[in-house]
């Protein structure tokens, strides 16, 4: 009998909580929509978009330059490791291919 009462209590609490939760969600959603549509907020959004448009090319250039530097560094390191291979495998070690006598290349 106690378990049945507990289950019924939980069920009632869930239903009431779900209704209250839905109503609160709708209130929050309406408040967020109202804030988003506020002209002051939209002005700030427009300013942020303009700033992004202005700075995006500079950021892209920096990222591209760094990516190029990293690629060059990685290439040098791979070639440095490949040079210990004495060219037996034509650089296959650097490319990740299995070596003769290894577990994968045997």
Domain boundaries, the chain: 1-37, 39-79
3-state secondary structure of 18: helix
Tens-place pLDDT, residues 23-81 = 888 888 999 999 999 999 999 999 999 999 999 998 888 888 888 889 889 998 888 86
**How far apart (Å, rounded) are the C-alpha atoms in residues 106 and 88?**
16
| H-only helix segments in 1-106 | 2-36, 39-82
3-state secondary structure of 92: coil
Taking the whole predicted model, whether its pTM rises above 0.85 is answered as no
């Amino acid at each position: 009998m106690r378990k049945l009462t507990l289950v019924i209590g939980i069920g009632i609490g869930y239903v009431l909580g779900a209704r209250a939760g839905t109503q609160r969600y709708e209130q929050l959603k309406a408040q967020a929509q109202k804030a988003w549509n506020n002209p002051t907020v939209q002005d700030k959004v427009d300013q942020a978009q303009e700033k992004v448009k202005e700075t995006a090319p500079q950021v892209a250039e920096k990222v591209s330059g760094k990516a190029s530097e990293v690629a060059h560094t990685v290439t040098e390191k791979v070639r440095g490791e490949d040079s210990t291979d004495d060219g037996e495998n034509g650089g296959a070690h650097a490319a990740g291919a299995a070596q003769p006598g290894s577990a994968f290349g045997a």
